[in-house]
Structures are given as C-alpha cells and as structure tokens.
C-alpha cells in the first residue's frame, strides 16, 4: 500500500456575492480547502436540493466525491454520471472540465484532453474557474496521467485575465511547475499566492512539500514552512496530515500527536478509523491492526475505505502469511481507483505471489506494471532486482537471469554487477550459451578484468564437455595471461585454467608432455594438490618403455 497522503484541493475564486446561495457555495468551498470533504458534500447536496440547476454546486459536489484519499471506483463513476447528466441539460464548460478530470483518473487521457480543450475553447480561454479546473486536474501531484506543461499553459492564461486576484490559481500553478521538475518557478508561484493573501496557509504548506520531496537533508527547511502554515492558520488540517505521515515510519509517538491535531481539525469519518488501525501497524502490532481494520470494514459495510484492505495486506505480509496477503491485495486493487495504486503496491503483491507456487507468471505481470508506472530508473531497477532475487532464493536461476537481463535493458549504463548477475545466473541455470554471451560482453566492456574470461571459459567448457572443439581454450589462455600478474590473488582462477589444459592436452591433443607441464604449474601454486599429483603419477606410468637392445646373432 502506498504511503499515506492527502490530495490537493482546488478552490475557485468568485466575485463578491451577496445572496444566501453564494455564501453557501463559499462555505462549501471553504470546507473543501480545509479538506472537510464530508461537510462539503453535505453543503453542496443541500444547495442542489434547493436548486438542482446550480452548476457550481454540481461541480463542487463532484469534487467532494473524487478528491478524498479514500475515493473509490464507485465514487468516481457516480460523480461522472452526475456531471454527464447535468451537462446534457446545462452545457456547462465547468462540468465539461470536471468530466475531463475524472477521465484522467480513469486513464482515458485522450478523452480527457478532448473535454479540456472543448471547455477552454467554448469559454474562449477567459474563464478563470474553467482554466483553474483544467490546470488543477492536470497539474496536481496526485494526477498521475496529468500533463503538467498543459496545466501550466492554462493556469498562466488564468493569471493574465483582467482583475485576476486568486491565490489558489497560483498554488495550482506552483504544483504544476513542481510536477514538471521546475522547483524554482514552483516557489515563485507559491510566493505569488502569498503576495495576494499572506495568510494563505496552503501556499507555505506546498513550499514545505516541495522541500520535503528533496529528502531528509531538507528537514529543517520544510519544517520551517510547515510551521509557518500552522502559524498562519492553526486549523489547516493538511499540514498536520503531512507531519503525521512524515513521522509515521520513524516516530510513532509524534505521529500520534499530529494525528490528534489532524483529526481535531477534520471531519470524523471512515478515514479516522483507518488511521487508528494504521497507527497500530506503525507500532508493530500487526494482529491488532488487522482486527481494527476488520472493525472499520464492518462499520462501512456498503463501501469500505479501500486502504483498509491494503493495510491488512501489508500486515499479513509482515506476519509472513502470503495467502492472506494476496487475498487482501486483490481486494485492495479491486476497490481502489487506478490513480491511487502505486508501483510499490504491485511489487509487494508480486513478492507474495512468488511465495505461493503456481503464481510466477502473474507475479511477472505485476512487476512489469510497476516498472511501466514508475519514471525513475533507480526505482525500476529496484523492482526488477527484487523479483530476480526472489527467484534466486528459490534456486530458479534461469528465471532470475531473465529478470536480471531486464535490469540491463533498463539501465542506461549497466555495470559489472549487472552483467555478472545475468551471466552467472544463466550459468547456474544451465543456459550456457547465454552465459557465454553475457560474459563475453563483460570482457569487452572490462578487458582488464579476469572474471569475464574465467566465466566465459567455464560456461564454454560446460557446453564443450569433451573439449574436442576447444571452445574454452582462448578464454582460459586469457585467464592465465592476466592471472600470472598476481598468482596469489588469482590462484583459484589459475588452478581451474591449468586443470582444463591438463585434460585438454592429455585427452584431446594426446600430448602427455604438455599435460605434465600444466600439472607442474598447478603444483607450483599448491604442491599438495592431490588431483595433480595423481594425474602426474598416472601420466608418468603410461610413458612408453625404453627400447631393448637387440640380442647378438647366434653363431651357427
């Protein structure tokens, strides 16, 4: 299951309004800002009950359904159906952007782009709310299928509209820059939001998140911004959620403190139960975590929080119960929306599948999914290696080698260890042609290294067991050439090479003298080598006897 996280919330500024309805819309949007999704959903439902044609209330009701961390596939489909139903009546550009957002979450990238372009074009790229909705849908950190450059384009247009004065658009623009890998422009955008509203806690919070993404070395900086966000608005719950997540793996006591602050400033809903189970997991009480998760699932029988099944899967994994882990991972994947499933989820599932015979092919499919999902080379390599190592543990060396070969294809600059892992496992698995190919490549890349030639020799010898073809000759000759530079360091490789040539000389060349020369080389390294001593004695015993002198002719 992925690390606990909170989604970002989109706020759309509106001009000053005086009606009761407008104030209620603002109230609902404020609840969204504080991630009080349950309260916001109730607010927008009441608004629609009073006026079913309130397109802004429809849009925000849909957002309250799809933005929570526990959003299920059902939430997604229900929100989409609602948007489509209202769109058929009102032809709203905002709802069109909302449908595009859901299609992105479903992985329907081209359909989403079509809806975004239609919404932007029909509003002539001059509607801040529509541009902001498109920008948020593509640029927010949780939008795995979103196009950050496209988000920047639309959000930048929004900032150029006359009388623009919305800090939320700037924060969404900062998120899009961050997603694109442009930290400098991201910070500038967040600071532009603070220039409009110095107490806009979300901006400092997002700057903190940016620095946190750079690693623990930036802890003092991101903590400074988190504390600024708290100082600006002590009721802004997302910052407490971030601190809970930060300490969740390292300091359960602090995590619990921030959990209490988070819950005090949030709606009490199904997630509260989940996080209580998660704290049990963090403390190492895995059976207690499973029991609490089961309570939470029972309490939400109609639509339980998908992460509860992920938590149970992880707990069973820690208890080494792969069958139960597989069962709960399967339930998690079935209930969770595709955009919230991480590559790490797939890898853990695959590892457990490999522990139960007969699941190897399925495990491979999930590893491939994880690799395809991740854009970072080191992560891809780690996923592939984890499965290769699992096969090695089971002594399925050929399968391990196949996965190590995928590591070679994934890395831009594979090294000695990468070539070794593939070649050596092919050798151990008896696929010696492949082993020769990899160790030949090893020697071509590292010509001064004895190991590539040595393993090429051994694998070639395994192919040419009678030595009649002499396939290993040149490799072992190279081993001897390099090994003589340091006979202590390379004693083992030299001994094997000499023994090969003893056999080759005696059995193939029928040259006993040459065989004895190589035996003497072995004995110079190890005078007590029993095999060499026995072979020398045997060869000496089979030498041709001396010719006897002819007897003198007898006299008649």
- pLDDT value of position 17: 35
**Phi-psi label, residue 4: left if phi above 0, alpha if psi -120 to 50, beta otherwise:** beta
Q: Which two tokens stand for residue 426?
A: 């092919």
Closest to 194 measured CA to CA, from 219, 229, 222, 221: 229
Residues 315-351: b if buried by 16+ CB within 10 A, e if exposed? bbbeeebbebbbbbbebbbebbbebbbbbbbbbbbbb
Q: Write the DSSP symbol of residue 215.
A: -
343 phi and psi angles, rounded to 5 deg? -60, -35
**Gap between the Cα atoms of 245 and 239, Å rounded:** 10
Query: Tokens 């709802």 identify what position?
Result: 95
Torsion of CA 179, 184, 187, 191, to 10 degrees: -140
- pLDDT value of position 70: 62
**Gap between the Cα atoms of 153 and 456, Å rounded:** 56
- pLDDT value of position 551: 52
**Domains of the chain, each with CATH number or no CATH:** 1-197 (1.25.40.10), 198-268 (1.25.40), 448-541 (1.25.40.10)
Query: Tokens 């007590």 identify what position?
Result: 528
- pLDDT value of position 216: 86
Closest to 381 measured CA to CA, from 405, 363, 355, 407: 407
> Can you spell out the DSSP letters for 117-143?
HHHHHHTTT--HHHHHHHHHHHHSTT-
51 phi and psi angles, rounded to 5 deg? -145, 90
Closest to 158 measured CA to CA, from 189, 202, 113: 189
- pLDDT value of position 24: 83
Q: Which two tokens stand for residue 446?
A: 């590292």
Q: Which two tokens stand for residue 196?
A: 């409009």
Closest to 59 measured CA to CA, from 88, 31, 29, 33: 29
**Gap between the Cα atoms of 54 and 89, Å rounded:** 11
- pLDDT value of position 543: 59
Bridge partner list, 336: 72
Question: pTM of the prediction?
Answer: 0.60
Q: Which two tokens stand for residue 340?
A: 């919230």
> Tens place of pLDDT for every residue, the chain, 556 residues?
434 333 334 443 333 333 444 458 999 999 999 999 999 999 999 999 999 989 999 999 999 999 987 677 889 999 999 999 999 888 899 999 999 999 999 999 999 999 999 999 999 999 999 999 999 999 998 888 999 999 999 999 999 999 999 999 999 999 999 999 999 999 999 999 999 999 999 999 999 999 999 988 999 999 999 999 999 999 999 999 999 989 988 898 899 899 989 989 988 776 788 889 999 998 899 999 999 999 999 998 778 889 999 999 999 999 999 999 999 999 999 998 887 899 989 999 999 998 898 888 899 999 999 999 888 899 999 999 988 998 998 899 999 999 999 999 999 999 999 999 999 999 999 999 999 999 999 999 999 999 999 999 999 999 999 999 999 999 999 999 999 999 999 999 999 999 999 999 999 999 999 999 999 999 999 999 999 999 999 998 875 444 444 555 454 3
Distances in Å between the alpha carbon of 168 and those of 65, 128, 154, 195, 208? 20, 11, 14, 12, 16
Total number of residues shown for the chain:
556
Question: Is the C-alpha dihedral spanning 317, 321, 324, 326 positive or negative?
Answer: positive
- pLDDT value of position 23: 54
- pLDDT value of position 546: 45
């Amino acid at each position: 299951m992925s690390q606990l996280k909170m989604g970002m919330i989109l706020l759309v500024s509106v001009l000053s309004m005086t009606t009761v309805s407008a104030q209620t819309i603002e109230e609902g949007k404020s609840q969204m800002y504080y991630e009080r999704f349950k309260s916001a959903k109730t607010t927008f439902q009441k608004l629609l009950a009073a006026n079913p044609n309130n397109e802004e209330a429809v849009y925000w009701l849909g957002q309250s359904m799809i933005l929570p961390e526990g959003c299920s596939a059902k939430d997604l489909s229900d929100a989409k159906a609602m948007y489509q139903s209202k769109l058929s009546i009102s032809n709203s550009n905002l709802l069109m952007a909302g449908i595009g957002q859901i299609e992105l979450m479903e992985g329907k990238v081209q359909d989403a782009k079509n809806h975004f372009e239609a919404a932007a074009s029909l509003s002539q790229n001059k509607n801040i709310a529509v541009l902001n909705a498109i920008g948020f849908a593509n640029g927010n950190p949780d939008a795995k299928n979103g196009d950050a450059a496209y988000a920047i384009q639309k959000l930048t247009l929004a900032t150029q509209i006359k009388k623009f004065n919305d800090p939320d658009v700037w924060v969404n623009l900062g998120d899009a820059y961050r997603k694109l890998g442009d930290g400098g422009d991201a910070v500038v955008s967040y600071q532009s939001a603070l220039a409009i509203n110095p107490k806009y806690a979300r901006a400092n919070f997002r700057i903190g998140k940016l620095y946190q993404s750079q690693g623990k070395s930036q802890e003092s900086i991101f903590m400074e911004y988190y504390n600024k966000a708290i100082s600006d608005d002590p009721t802004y719950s997302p910052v407490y959620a971030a601190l809970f997540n930060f300490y969740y793996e390292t300091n359960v006591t602090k995590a619990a403190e921030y959990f209490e602050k988070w819950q005090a400033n949030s709606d009490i809903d199904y997630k509260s139960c989940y996080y209580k189970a998660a704290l049990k997991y963090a403390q190492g009480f895995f059976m207690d975590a499973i029991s609490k998760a089961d309570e939470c699932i029972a309490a939400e029988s109609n639509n339980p929080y998908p992460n509860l099944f992920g938590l149970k899967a992880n707990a069973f994994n820690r208890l080494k119960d792969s069958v139960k882990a597989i069962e709960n991972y399967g339930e998690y994947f079935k209930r969770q929306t595709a955009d919230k499933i991480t590559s790490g989820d797939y890898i853990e599932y695959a590892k457990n599948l490999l522990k139960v015979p007969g699941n190897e092919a399925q495990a491979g499919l999930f590893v491939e999914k994880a690799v395809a999902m991740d854009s970072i080379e080191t992560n891809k390599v780690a996923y592939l290696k984890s499965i290769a190592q699992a096969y090695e543990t089971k002594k399925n060396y050929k399968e391990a080698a196949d996965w190590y070969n995928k590591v070679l294809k994934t890395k831009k600059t594979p090294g000695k260890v990468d070539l070794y892992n593939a070649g050596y496992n092919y050798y151990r698995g008896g696929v010696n042609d492949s082993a020769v190919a990899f160790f030949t490549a090893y020697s071509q890349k590292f010509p001064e290294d004895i190991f590539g030639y040595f393993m090429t020799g051994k694998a070639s010898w395994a192919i040419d067991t009678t030595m009649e073809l002499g396939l290993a000759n040149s490799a072992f000759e190279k081993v001897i050439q390099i090994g003589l530079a340091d006979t202590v360091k390379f004693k083992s490789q030299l001994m094997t090479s000499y023994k090969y040539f003893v056999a080759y000389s005696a059995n193939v060349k029928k040259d006993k003298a040459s065989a004895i020369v190589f035996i003497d080389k072995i004995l110079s390294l190890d005078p007590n080598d029993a095999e060499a001593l026995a072979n020398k004695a045997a060869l000496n015993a089979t030498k041709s006897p001396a010719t006897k002198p002819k007897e003198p002719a007898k006299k008649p």
